[in-house]
A and B are shown apart, each in its own frame.
Chain A
Amino acid sequence: PQLKGGELMPYWLRKGRSWVVIQDKGIKAPSGSAGDVLEDDPVGRLKVFVYELPSKYNRKILQKDPRCLTHMFAAEIFMHRFLLSSPVRTLNPEEADWFYTPVYTTCDLTPNGLPLPFKSPRMMRSAIQLISMNWPYWNRTEGADHFFVVPHDFGACFHYQEEKAIERGILHLLQRATLVQTFGQRNHVCLKDGSITIPPYAPPQKMQAHLIPPDTPRSIFVYFRGLFYDVGNDPEGGYYARGARASVWENFKNNPLFDISTEHPATYYEDMQRAVFCLCPLGWAPWSPRLVEAVIFGCIPVVIADDIVLPFADAIPWEEIGVFVAEKDVPNLDSILTSIPTKVILRKQRLLANPSMKQAMLFPQPAQPGDAFHQILNGLARKLPHAEKAFLKPGEKILNWTRGPVGDLKPW
């Protein structure tokens, strides 16, 4: 769609369908960009072998429910498609540094589109059984050179309730594998060392359609639209979002600097583009697509989720870009935000305005240099070479195939 006022088109937009980073003649990408590591090109730094699995593990599941292409967990599907046509893919497993198993574990949706995690462990276990029987590469390392995309609420713990997720822990068979997941919280059972945290999927075209000229004056100080109380599941409050969202409402509903409400207006994306700060508080899970939207729309993310690990944290200096507020400090949010020196705010906005920062948050179709797909590959490349102990001696066994909850052992 041709943008109104084409002259001021933001420089990370291309008239065509997908994002491309173009340097608008008038606007130079501000220096001090969080850019250079994000612009690494993974091609040539690693080789990935993609297992051929029966379609019941991927294509058929998607056919059953195409909504899996638009919800927050769609990264598991788009990563598969990306790898199939990516130059890093090798058809010769012998030369592969990493092995990818295309299994869509977050696509078993309820009628109103929410993923059911109950079959996921069995599905994953069945897929691993299959690759361990048909190829030697799994048993060679028991997964140490394999990576899996598990974008659900609490990653490979395969549950949406935190207690249950903690109780389950990470699926035993994945102990040695690298997990690519949205969930990230330090010292949490469901975040294994060496995992790669990725942004949740947000449809690029949908955001692109709501772009407004970047000179639109930002007149909102703090913006948030969403639930403060989850009346359905935690009417009393204090459980949902650990009480942080309720605290935001109770303390700042009467503060005109805080444009906060439960109703989503039609101008939700446009409003984010005219706000200085956008709240990204935890919900049932610590992460949320708001962080991606805030980066795309140049609104400084205010992250309220203790110990959260944000996407590609080893490549993006999030504390330079966002504002982190401990959940216990929510009542003083206005004092905290208004005491940030203006030049620090302007600097954060410049970092957010950098095209590679935005590109790294997106899974565009087709893929673009520096997008989230490439950042995952960069993450994998940075972990090479594999440690010696990754490769087991012949016949050595570490993983115990029968460990874990009984329900997980049923065939899928």
Chain B
Amino acid sequence: MGFFTGFAPTSTASLFSRQLISYRQIKNLGISAEAVKATEKPVEPASLNNRSLMAEMSTENQTTTEQLADADPKEEDSDPESNPRNLLIVITTTRSNDRFREFFLTRLAHTLRLVPPPLLWIVVEPHGDAPKTAEMLRKTGIMYRHLTFRENFTDPEAEAHHQRNVALSHIEHHRLTGIVHFAGISNIYDLQLFEEIREIEVFGTWPVAMVSANRKRVMVEGPSCRSSKVVGWPVEDLSYGTTNDAPNTDTGSVGKASKATRINISGFAFNSSILWDPERWGRPTSVPDTSQDSFKFVQEVIVEDETKLRCIPPDSSKIMLWHLHIPRVIPLLFRRNQNRR
């Protein structure tokens, strides 16, 4: 009788049999994992047979952390799960041996540190400059990915373009879901802008105030909008120089040189799934091979489909982003083709 009870489907036996059925040969097969109890009981360790540490630890007294003056004035301990927010993916590219880099990166890091999570900061850098920046990034406490590349460039615009593609291919490779924004290191943000960016579904754009040292004019770039719909684009850039006049290349413009669309590189954000799940956004995947140049792909998508473009703020009157251009000679002697008007 004992023998036969052994075959009765007890819990372990059935578990074993279910495992049996669901195994299949193909590699990434879906196995419906049964719901896990909140705190999985860890596997029992070998029995502690000597003056066990367990006893000693149970009498553990609180360390003196309480007595320390509570250093952190902002002690808000809001319930963490109350308002889950979309992920912000902020991409920053830095110029090789730009001597203002640490200054600008530190300032941008302070701003990004104040943006409520989840935020992922992707910093792309030439390999040679990585160690010093890594040390600085470590101290910020921000969740970041530090991507480096070994190719070297003489043309800063080509370098910036390559860096953007390094960042975008990282997003594609990992299939990250969030709203992507290119934050130039000399950008100064009103924190409110990040919360607006989070609400973007497909594309969003906003005005960027372009200012330079010792210049008289302030140039504001961006769409003119009414109730968050784009109604027009700057037809003619009246100011001197175009958006990519400044040698600081991360102000390179988006959109083909077509006169209609000139979006500042920091003046827009888009849903990352466009990169790795085009059908979802009505994009035929049979688009000519853009796998190599994801950034060009994004530019084309923006230009083609303005209906999905959303303006932040709705009447795009409030400036929430400044781009401060400070001339600094990058000791790399290189030829710049100034496409001046």
Contact = CB atoms under 8 A, between A and B. Distances in A.
A28 B64 contact: yes
A236 interface: yes
Given A212-B138, A331-B33, A350-B63, A323 B42 contact: yes
Contacts of B138: 212, 216, 270, 274
A166 interface: no
Interface string B49-61: 1111110110011
B38 interface: yes
A219 B130 contact: no
B305 interface: no
Interface in B8-37: 27-28, 31, 33, 36
A217 B176 CA distance: 24
Contacts of B79: none
B38 A339 contact: yes
Contact of A254 (B42, B43, B49, B176): B176
B176 to A, nearest CB: 6
A185 B315 CA distance: 65
A34 interface: yes
A65 interface: no
A162 interface: no
A382 B175 contact: no
Contact of B36 (A220, A246, A308, A329): A329
A314 B50 contact: yes
B79 to A, nearest CB: 13
A262 to B, nearest CB: 11
A366 interface: no
A95 interface: no
B33 A328 contact: yes
A17 B130 CA distance: 28
Contact of A317 (B57, B87, B141, B146): B57
B71 to A, nearest CB: 12
Contacts of B139: 216-217
A329 B37 CA distance: 10
A259 B145 contact: yes
Contacts of A217: 139-141
Nearest to B178: A256
B189 interface: no
Interface residues of A, number: 57
Interface string A202-222: 000000000010001101110
Contacts of A259: 145
A96 B144 CA distance: 57
Interface in A254-308: 254, 256, 259, 265-267, 270, 274, 306-308
A41 B97 CA distance: 54
B72 interface: no
Interface in B108-152: 118, 120, 130-131, 134, 138-146
B43 A267 contact: no
Contact of B39 (A238, A254, A256, A339): A339
Nearest to B32: A331
20 contacts: A32-B63, A34-B57, A35-B53, A217-B140, A219-B142, A237-B27, A253-B175, A270-B134, A307-B43, A309-B46, A314-B50, A315-B50, A317-B45, A317-B52, A319-B43, A324-B42, A324-B43, A325-B40, A328-B33, A350-B63
Interface of B: 27-28, 31, 33, 36, 38-40, 42-46, 48-54, 56-57, 60-61, 63-64, 87, 118, 120, 130-131, 134, 138-146, 173-178
Those 8 A-B pairs whose CB atoms lie nearest each other, nearest first? A32-B60, A217-B141, A324-B42, A319-B42, A254-B175, A332-B36, A313-B46, A256-B120
